[in-house]
Structures are given as C-alpha cells and as structure tokens.
Structure 1
Amino acid sequence: MTTKFYNRLSNDFTRLLENPTDYNVAIEVDKAPINKIFEVHSYILQSRSTYFKKKFDEIPFNENHVKELKMSNISTNLFNVIIKYIYGGTISLEKLEKSIIFDLLIVSHVFDLDELVEHLQTHLVTNNASWLRLNFAHVYQTSYHKNFEIIQNFCNNIIAKNPDTIFESENFNSLPEDVLISIIKLDDLQLEEDKIWDYVIQWGKTKNPAFPTNLDEWTSDDFSTLKTTLKHCFPHIRYFNISSEQVIEKFYPYQQLFEPKLWSDINIKLLAPNRPISSIILPPRNIISSTPPTKTTTIPSNIITDKLALEISSWIDKKETTYTEFNPYEFKLLVRGSRDGFDIKTIYEICDKVSNTVIVLKVEDTGEIIGGYNPLEIFNNTIGWNFSKDSFAFSLKTENLKNSIISRVKDNPSIYYSVYSYCFGSALCLCGNLKTGKDSFCDTDYYEKSIRSDTSGFSVEEFEVFKISPK
C-alpha cells in the first residue's frame, strides 16, 4: 500500500515559490496597470507545462545564470493564480469575477495546463451558466477555436434549442467557415432544413459582396464562385428532407450550385420516392416538434414577450448580440393603460421619483411595438429637459428581431417632462391621452434615427411602464 502525502508536498512547493531559493528564471509580467517579476524555478515550470519547456529551451542564461522571460499579454493577477497552481496544485475561484475565470481558462490553454483547462470549463458550465449565456457570441467562438470541448457542448446545446441565437445575430455573416459547419452539422438543430439552406446561401453571398442583388442578373461565373465558397458547407445540408414545394422554391433558383448527380437524385426522389439513388442521404434532424411551442411569457406584459424583453435588456447593456435565455433584469410592471388610464399624467403620478424605466406601446391600427428606456428619475409636477447619454427609443419587429430599430441619444438634452407630455427628444414624444388623442409622434431630434417611417400623430391600443432592476 502506497501512502500519498500530497498536502505537505503542495505546502512545501508553495513556500518555495514565496521564498524562491536558488531560482533560475525571472518572468516579468508587465501588462498594465501593474508589472511584477516572478522569480521561479525552470525545472518545476517545465515539468508541469510543455509551453514553458519550449520557452526555456529557446532562452539562454544571462551572466547571473538566470533566464529572463517577458510576458506582456497576461495580467499580474492572472499569472499569480497560474503560478500558484503550477507550484502547489491548488486554485481558488470563489472570489474571482466570471470574466476573470474565463480569461484564466484561455491562459491555462496557452500554457498547456490540460488538467486546469478541464476543471475551469466544468466550473463555468456548472456554476456560471448564466454568465456564459449573457456573453454567448464571445464564449462560443473562443471555445470553438480553443477546442474547449465541455463549453462547446454547452454552447451547441443552446444553439440547437435556440437557433436564432446564432442565425439571427449581428455576427452571423462574419462567422468563420469552420464554426458555421460545426453548427449545421448538429443533428438536433431545431431549424427546418430549407431555412438552414437560406442561411448558408446568405452567409456565402456576404463573402462575395460584388454579386448582383437580383439573382436573374447572375452569371455562370457568379454561381461558380458561390459554389466554391460553400463547397465545405454543402455536404451537411439534408437535401432529401425538404418538401417538393421547398425544392422548387429554394433549390431551383440555385440549381447551378449542385453537382449533376446530386441534382438528378433530388429530382428522382421527387418523382419516384421509392427508387434507389447513389447520393448519400443524411438522416433527418431530430426536430422536437414541427410546430414550435408557444413562447411562455414570464414578464407581466400584454405587449412584449420574454424574447422582446431580452432584446431591450441587451440594448440597456449595450451588447452587440442579443441575450438568449437568461435575462439579467427584472421587469416590474408599474403602469398599464387599460388598468390605470391612458393620460400622460398617470405615468407621472405612479412613477414619481422612479428611475430606470421602460415604456412600451402598441400603436393603434398598425400593431407596431415602440417604446423607450429612461435611466433617469421621473418627476411629477416638473417641466423641463433632462440629460442622459444612456436613454434610447426603439421599435420592436416581432417577425424578425434583427430588423428592430434602436435610436440612441445623439445630442443632449434627451428626456423632456411636462404635465402634458413625456418625450425622448422627438424620437418618441407622448402627449395628452394616448388612447383617445393622436398628438403623440416620432421624429429624429436629439436621437440618431426615427423609429417610425410615419411621422404623423398616432394613438395606442395599450401601453405599459416597467421598472428595470438587476436580478
């Protein structure tokens, strides 16, 4: 029987780091704002990390028989955590910010600390899943290119269940090819095959911006170029799991992209479904339901869904990509027109001295959903302009969220209070009785853009005001 005294060993090596007797390496970590020199022992570092073994093989000793290494791409705090792990085999994550833990994961990968890489991934997925979701685009692309398998699986599960997370994001068209392929290969991707085809074609077109907008104007060279661009994506499309109507609508306009044999087999399957073909038939995706389930709304609103609330929260935090599942904010209903009245004075009476509010309105006749975010306190019986660089007006497009409009402050002043009106510049100016009158309007003064193409007055079917608080 072998007895292992790991705790004593860890403590002894940790003390050696604190009092580096006979050190032979000086590592200067000089990333701002703090720089520090760590005096360490080459045999310990290179026995624990192949990265340091390669580095030390390249660096000669100076006249003091010490190897000098400068590292400017890592903070002192991060390196301090890493070096304590290398010497003592221990690490404490409880007091570290989630973003720091993710940075620590990336650094651990660079240093070839496989055991720590696995531990940090497991910790993030188990204990910090909400943070991973809130920073999804960055986390996914980083994890894919660093081969973080545990986090990749976590992200793939989110993408499979919520394809819009990627396909409707601002960054979709800039995805690297290998990342796009990894997504369309997913067997449980909850997206119809014809829509996957549309997204792949869209991605390919953005790589060739010189293509004519009108497909009828394309030349054979244009089709050949797109075929080359998408040659690694095409094998993962499930061509034989698309209806005949979709084949006619989606494939026929692009038939020049298909290899002759595949195109022949697609047509054979349409005309004689039981006839054998030589093309590979990929299995259908594991779609949970052909009809997506109705989205459950947990926020107390008759106007917006949870998904629209996620969009608003993303704008509040100035995120490049929309939050997907976890909303970092609670939406507490303060005012509802059909319950409390539609006169503007109702907002001032109920929301007096309340800050961080969102107002949403459903426009009469058009059904448009518009609104604004006001981080400032609302004051009753006050008239005048107020200043905030963080307020914005918006228009939410329920059919396709990526077409939603956000209009941020361009010039101060930004918010106007009076007994008769409540205005976000003139981007959203609400006046009088919102139900019976048509004095409210949208224009562009003080904000970046108009949230409505129609600048004439409007009335509303319903409006709601929410207090926004971090969860």
Structure 2
Amino acid sequence: MADNKLLLNLSHNLREVLEDDEYYDITIEVGNDPYIKIFRAHMVILHYRSPYLRRIFSTNKRKNDGTLTHIKFPNILPEIFQIILRYIYGGVLPLDECDTSDIIKILVAANELKLQELIILLQSFLIENKSEWMKQNFSNIYRMIFENNSFLELQKYCTDLISEDPVKIFESPNFSSTPEKLLVALIRNDKLQMSEIQLWDYVLKWGLSQNPELPSDPTNFSKEDFNTLKNRLQRCIQFINFYNLTSEEFYKVIPYKKIIPKELYKDLLTHFLNSNNKKSEPNEPNIVKDIENNKSKSNVIENIKENKETNPGSNIVENKPVANIVEDIKENKPIVNIVEDIKKNELERNIFEFIEENKLEQTVIEVIEEPRKIRNKPAPNIIKEIEENSPNEDDNYYKKEIDSKIITYRHAKLILKWINKIYMKNMKNMNNTNTSTYTSYFSKWIYTDTTNNTTNNPNSMNITHTTHKLKLLLRGTRDGFAPQKFHNVCDNRFHTVVVIKTHNNEIIGGYNPVSWKSDVSYSITKDSFIFSFKGDGNHILSRVVCDAYATYNVNWYGPSFGVSDLSLREGNMGVCRQNSYEKPIRGTTDDFFATEYEVFQIVGI
C-alpha cells in the first residue's frame, strides 16, 4: 500500500511538471487549421518515454543559440494529444471517462507516436470492455484496424468476429473496398463459416472489382488480363483449399485456371481425375461397367455425353489414360480391345498437356490416369526404427555443457524432446505419401537416409541416428536487445529456439520451425510452441492452435510468437498474453522486462 501511495505521489508531481511553464525546452504544434494548439514539454521526459520521439530528437538537435526545439503532429487532434501527454508524464489514462470513439482516436495517435505499451493496453481495453460498441460500429473501424500493422490483437478479434458472420463483409455494398490484408486474414481463418466455393466466388468478385477494366467473361480475357488478375489475387489464392471443392464446383474454377499456380493446378487435376476422390452415386452411369458388359459403342458415347450434362463430377473410366480412351472411342475400336488396352496400359505422364490442348476438362475429366506406382506402394516401415534409435537418457550429448546463461542441459534436452515428438507425429501422419517425399522431408531432421543403397530398392532405407544440438546465434547482453540486431542475425534461419529470462527470474521461450522475416507478416506453421520453466522443475508447454498466426515478422519487434502470446519488443520490454497458443505460459498478463535472452539454431553435430 505504501508503495502505491508513493507511485501516486510521483505521478502527481510529474503531471505538475507538465503544467509548469518554467522549465520546458520543447514546443509541440498539434492539429490543423483552424484547430491548432501549442504544447510545452520537456525533452528529457519525452526522450525516455517514447522511442519514436527519441529518434526525432536525435535528427533535430537543439541549436546552441537558445532556440527551442519545435515539432509538429498535424494528424493528431489537440484534445487527444493532451490525454496522451498526461499519460507520458504521469502514467494515467482515464479511459472510463472517454467515449469509445475517442479511445479509437487515442489508439491511432499512440500508433503514430509508436507508444507500444499504450497500443497494447488500449487494444485489450477495447476487446474486454467495448465489444458491443465494436460490433455495432464494425463497418466504420475495421479498415483502420487492418491498415495499421501494430493492431494485431484487434485484427485477430475482428477476423474472428467476421468469421462467425462473414456476410457483414462479403455482402456489404463496400466489399470492393475491403483491405487485402483483411481478406487474406479471413481466408486463412479456420473458423470462417463459409464453403470453399463461396469463398472462391467472393475472392474472384473482389479481384475483378479491383480491376474494373477486365472483361466480365473470362473467355474474353487476354494473356495480360489473366496476369493482371493473377497478380491481384496471388496472396488470396494460396490460402483457398481447392481440394475441398466437389468436381462440379471445380468446373467453375477451370475458366480461371491461368491465375492458379501451374503445379497446384496439375495437382488439382490429379485430385479430381482420381476416381477414389468421389464415390459413385447410384444414379451415375458407370462407363467402365458399360464397356466390360460389352454394351454398344453408341450407348457408351451417349452415356459420356449424358454424364457430362447431368453429373459432370462423376467417374467414367479407371486406370486408362485420357488420350487413348478418347481416341479408341473416336476410331470405333472394338470394345473388347478397349478393355484389353485398359488392363495393359502404362501410365501416360503427359496427361495434363493432353487435357489442356484438347480442352477436355469439362468433358472427360472423370477419366483418370493410372496413379503413379509409387503412390500405391507402402511407405518404408521406419517408424519402429526411428523410435528404437531415439536419444535415450544416457545420450552423451546431453551431458555436454550448453552455451547458455539461461538454460541448463536438462532444459535443452527437454526442448529437443518436444521437437522430436512433433516430427515423429508428422512422420506417422505421412504413411500415405510417396516414399521420396517421405524420406526427403524427414531426412532434414532427426534421422538421415543413407545414399549408398546396395539393394537398389527405392523403398529400402538405412536409418542412421543424427544427434542435434543448440547453436547459439544471439545473446542480448553480448549483442544487444535491439530488434534490428535480432533480424540481422536470425532472419532466414529455420528451426530456432528463443529463451528469455525476465526481471523476476522466469524462463520463457519458444520454438519456430520456419524462418524469421522482417516483412510485416505472419508465418504459418502447426509445429511451433512456446514454453516456460519453473524454479521447482515444472514446466508449461503450449502448442500453437491458430497456425495462421504462429509467428509474427516485423522489423521493429524481436522474436514474436502468435498475437502477443510471446513477444520481445523495443528495448527489453516484452508481452505474454495467450491468444494463438493453447494455454498461457505465465501466471500474469503483465508486461515483463528481459534481463537476458538468447536465440539458438538446431544443427547437427
């Protein structure tokens, strides 16, 4: 209680300094004509309370002739700046006395002044106390929220809100002015209550509205038109799960195939050509049975035509290349010979080119190529070998000293164990993938395949154990805590572990399997996690649950996991508020100060 009273007295005294005209050494011009106000302030206080103002002062050195430093903020209202200035001096913010619209203005102004602590506080206050106002005024504020990269918590809140009722945006008369960032966030959100074909239709509608000069009919598109639309929608298309479409729905996509990445389109053709992807309905004609039962040629052709018109997504022929079956029918080849060819035929690898050249997508897309042999062969049975070769309690590596001022070898061992479990789980989920993908993926990690395979059997692998260690990349007390230093050292590095020691001796951290970047984006991965170690030997492990927001990349933050789940920001300040990961790793949501932090990369010995 005594400490609180002292802090209140200090806050009151500092606010008195603000009101005192005697010792000021800077003037701040705020607002635009006719609403301009001049504020008097003290450079030393502003310097230490705002990194942004500190940078301004460093580029506008005070002259020795006694002239006061003068800066301008024309985009901030004077009454809003008054509130912020009182917060800077005294640490007080009477939000309960402010209208919600004014709180939004304070948030925007705090963003301009880069007052990160205030930005975080205001976002939490709005979400926790003004959610109804936010819903009622959503159409007026969501653009502002998504135009500012600092409002991460509000962006997630808005995305979740729209996902529950997407009509608010998609059927809005202002849909065409929806920021691309919001559209991408919606597409990436697993909670979005909308089918994939609806999503495609809306994305296409949005893309065409951004380029009104494009023809409404894709058959009239030039090559340049397709490139224009492709460039406009490339960030959106990568997050649409086309594999969830039905064959009939996929036909709606085909006219725009040139805006879809070529390899993706080929995979989609394989998917929709594969008869196993869709069970035959009772009313669908089975062309294979027609042929095997020696039905007349005319009936087979009629069934193909009828099937195209009534059931464009149905299956026609299994294990027969499109080119041959079409030519057989065209050449009036005897039915019995067609059946024999089907049995003997080898895989035709250029099926994609044939389909495109002959414009057969919407006529014989149901006729499939024979699946590549490797897909039908079981993946090598290496799971048991992997488990048997996993590091045991006596592994010599773990007895080596870890180059860390924060964690011990036992901490390192536990972290590597968590990572190992992720990739073991991934391996067990990959049993239906082809051998080359299976091997290539996992050889990057805990085990490697032997290249000299004496059996010449592509499915035979020798598994050799490869130990991994934590290689120190960065240490705060040695290299500095500046976000720029973190990005200079760690950007484009994969498989990194961050550990942080806080001002009250907590140990917290996270694992990022993908690379760090500086491009103001989220990285997507389902394999990241954050953690904390307690002094009593206990720990908390929290895995990502919203993989679209696994890590956040921006050059004015250090390592950042989720939407403020664990983030080290300018200076030594950090935040840890559970949003994108399954559980909180601290017992408080208060900000923390890092006394030390380290970044490691996992490498092989």
TM norm structure 1: 0.55
Equivalent in 194, 197, 201 of residue 197 of structure 2 = 194
Alpha-carbon shift at residue 240 of structure 1 (Å): 0.6
Corresponding position of 2:51:
50
Equivalent in 165, 168, 171 of residue 168 of structure 1 = 171
**One-letter code aligned to 2:89:** Y
Corresponding position of 1:349:
none
**What secondary structure is seen at the aligned counterpart in 2 of 1:10?**
helix
Corresponding position of 2:268:
266
**One-letter code aligned to 1:37:** I
CA contact (8 A) 1:61 1:68 kept: no
Alpha-carbon shift at residue 32 of structure 1 (Å): 5.0
CA contact (8 A) 1:10 1:88 kept: yes
Once the two structures are superposed, residues 162-201 of structure 1 have per-residue CA deviations (whole angstroms, 9 ceiling, x without a partner) of: 1111111122222333332122111111110001111111
Gaps of 5+ in 2: 278-370, 376-432, 438-524, 527-544, 546-605
**One-letter code aligned to 2:120:** E
Closer/same/farther in 2, CA of residues 13 and 241 from structure 1, 3 Å limit: same
Equivalent in 179, 183, 188 of residue 182 of structure 2 = 179
Alpha-carbon shift at residue 161 of structure 1 (Å): 0.4
Q: Quick one: distance in 2 between partners of 1:224 and 1:153? A: 31
**One-letter code aligned to 2:127:** V
Closer/same/farther in 2, CA of residues 198 and 8 from structure 1, 3 Å limit: same
Give yes or no for the alignment of 1:27 onto 2:28: yes
Once the two structures are superposed, residues 111-153 of structure 1 have per-residue CA deviations (whole angstroms, 9 ceiling, x without a partner) of: 1211111111112122222221222134222222222122112
Corresponding position of 1:326:
none
**What secondary structure is seen at the aligned counterpart in 1 of 2:66?**
coil
Give yes or no for the alignment of 1:158 onto 2:161: yes
CA contact (8 A) 1:161 1:190 kept: yes
CA contact (8 A) 2:159 2:182 kept: no
Alignment of 1:242-261 (within 5 A): 242-248=245-251, 250-261=252-263
Alpha-carbon shift at residue 160 of structure 1 (Å): 0.6
Superposition CA RMSD, Å = 2.7
Corresponding position of 2:11:
10
Corresponding position of 1:78:
80
Alpha-carbon shift at residue 207 of structure 1 (Å): 2.6
Corresponding position of 2:138:
136
More relative contact order, 1 or 2 (CA 8 Å, 6+ apart): 1
Closer/same/farther in 2, CA of residues 259 and 113 from structure 1, 3 Å limit: closer
Give yes or no for the alignment of 1:118 onto 2:131: no
Alpha-carbon shift at residue 14 of structure 1 (Å): 1.1
Closer/same/farther in 2, CA of residues 68 and 161 from structure 1, 3 Å limit: same
Q: How many residues align?
A: 280
Closer/same/farther in 2, CA of residues 149 and 256 from structure 1, 3 Å limit: closer
Alpha-carbon shift at residue 243 of structure 1 (Å): 1.1
Give yes or no for the alignment of 1:107 onto 2:109: yes
**One-letter code aligned to 2:195:** E
Equivalent in 216, 231, 239 of residue 213 of structure 1 = 216
Alpha-carbon shift at residue 3 of structure 1 (Å): 5.8
**One-letter code aligned to 1:155:** C
Q: Quick one: distance in 1 between partners of 2:216 and 2:30? A: 52
**One-letter code aligned to 1:161:** E
Closer/same/farther in 2, CA of residues 34 and 186 from structure 1, 3 Å limit: same
Which deviates the most, 235-244 or 130-139? Answer: 130-139
Closer/same/farther in 2, CA of residues 153 and 178 from structure 1, 3 Å limit: closer
Q: Quick one: distance in 2 between partners of 1:208 and 1:15? A: 56
Alignment of 1:228-243 (within 5 A): 228-243=231-246
Question: Identity across aligned pairs (percent)?
Answer: 32
**What secondary structure is seen at the aligned counterpart in 2 of 1:256?**
helix
Closer/same/farther in 2, CA of residues 126 and 55 from structure 1, 3 Å limit: same
Alignment of 1:284-433 (within 5 A): none
Once the two structures are superposed, residues 407-457 of structure 1 have per-residue CA deviations (whole angstroms, 9 ceiling, x without a partner) of: xxxxxxxxxxxxxxxxxxxxxxxxxxxxxxxxxxxxxxxxxxxxxxxxxxx
CA contact (8 A) 1:30 1:71 kept: yes
Corresponding position of 2:486:
none
Closer/same/farther in 2, CA of residues 187 and 34 from structure 1, 3 Å limit: same
Closer/same/farther in 2, CA of residues 191 and 64 from structure 1, 3 Å limit: same
Closer/same/farther in 2, CA of residues 270 and 43 from structure 1, 3 Å limit: same
Q: Quick one: distance in 2 between partners of 1:14 and 1:208? A: 53
Q: Quick one: distance in 2 between partners of 1:129 and 1:72? A: 30
**One-letter code aligned to 2:77:** S
Q: Quick one: distance in 1 between partners of 2:72 and 2:43? A: 15
CA contact (8 A) 1:239 1:266 kept: yes
Q: Quick one: distance in 2 between partners of 1:74 and 1:226? A: 38
Closer/same/farther in 2, CA of residues 119 and 269 from structure 1, 3 Å limit: same
Q: Quick one: distance in 2 between partners of 1:163 and 1:174? A: 15
CA contact (8 A) 2:243 2:268 kept: yes
Q: Quick one: distance in 2 between partners of 1:243 and 1:152? A: 32
Q: Quick one: distance in 1 between partners of 2:75 and 2:107? A: 14
Gaps of 5+ in 1: 287-471
Q: Quick one: distance in 2 between partners of 1:256 and 1:28? A: 53
**What secondary structure is seen at the aligned counterpart in 1 of 2:176?**
helix
Q: Quick one: distance in 1 between partners of 2:125 and 2:263? A: 49
**What secondary structure is seen at the aligned counterpart in 2 of 1:74?**
coil
Alpha-carbon shift at residue 23 of structure 1 (Å): 1.3
Closer/same/farther in 2, CA of residues 41 and 167 from structure 1, 3 Å limit: same
Largest Rg, 1 or 2: 2
Corresponding position of 1:204:
207
Closer/same/farther in 2, CA of residues 34 and 202 from structure 1, 3 Å limit: closer
Corresponding position of 1:92:
94
Closer/same/farther in 2, CA of residues 221 and 61 from structure 1, 3 Å limit: closer
**What secondary structure is seen at the aligned counterpart in 2 of 1:35?**
strand
CA contact (8 A) 1:31 1:76 kept: no
Q: Quick one: distance in 2 between partners of 1:221 and 1:75? A: 46
Q: Quick one: distance in 2 between partners of 1:129 and 1:33? A: 34
Greater share of helix residues, 1 or 2?
Answer: 2
CA contact (8 A) 2:147 2:179 kept: no
Q: Quick one: distance in 2 between partners of 1:243 and 1:23? A: 70
Corresponding position of 2:539:
none
Q: Post-superposition, which runs of at least 4 consecutive aligned residues in structure 1 deviate over 6 A? A: none
**One-letter code aligned to 1:158:** L
Closer/same/farther in 2, CA of residues 223 and 20 from structure 1, 3 Å limit: same
Closer/same/farther in 2, CA of residues 20 and 190 from structure 1, 3 Å limit: same
